[in-house]
Amino acid sequence: MQLENRKALEIVGVFAVVGSLIFVGLQLVLDRRVAISAQYAARAESIKEDRRALLESDSYMSLQTKNWADGIRPVWWTEELEEIYGGRGLTGAEIYSEIIRIRMYLTHADNMHFQYSQGLLDQFFYDEIVAHLKEELKNPLRKAIYLATPLRLDHLFETLLNEIENERLHTSSNS
């Protein structure tokens, strides 16, 4: 009887060790994800700080105002954008301030997307970000900037743009 108890205890011990090893392995994977996500977030914050510095730089904004007055536009600037924003009398500094603010938000959204892809962001919170991005993509300037900025969000943008187009087609066919 004692031999059977000892074998049962050894089996339980083996399962306990295996279970512990699995737990430690899973914990290491999670810790690695958290560390990588923290590095990604730190890089995103660094990019946002650089952009904040541009917003506060009088020389940068003066240069953008001069370039704008000279007709120098970003490579992604379209005739549609010129029609919409060109006649508003905005200075280059005003346009570039908006571009920088949009890119800062994009950097934030890109970081949130990465956090979500690592399983570190709540679905509800992520859905709110996606809904906001979808609304943003309906604005021509924001859409142009989003599409001209290489990010991990490219697949998400493609999906959202398709949804917007399908909604537009559905709305126009019902009219």
Res. 59: pLDDT tops 90? yes
104 vs 4: which has the higher pLDDT: 104
**pLDDT tens figures, 92-122:** 888 889 999 998 988 888 888 888 888 888 9
Confidence band, pLDDT 50/70/90 cuts, at residue 60? very high
Please provide the average confidence, as pLDDT, over all residues in the chain.
86
Cα dihedral across residues 19, 20, 25, 31: positive or negative: positive
Domain positions in the chain: 49-174
Closest by CA position to 100, among listed 134, 50, 135, 62: 50
Cα dihedral across residues 169, 84, 94, 54: positive or negative: positive
Measured at the CA of 45, the angle between CA 43 and CA 49, to 5 degrees, comes to 115
Q: What pTM was estimated for this model as a whole?
A: 0.75
Tokens at 68, concatenated: 């704008």
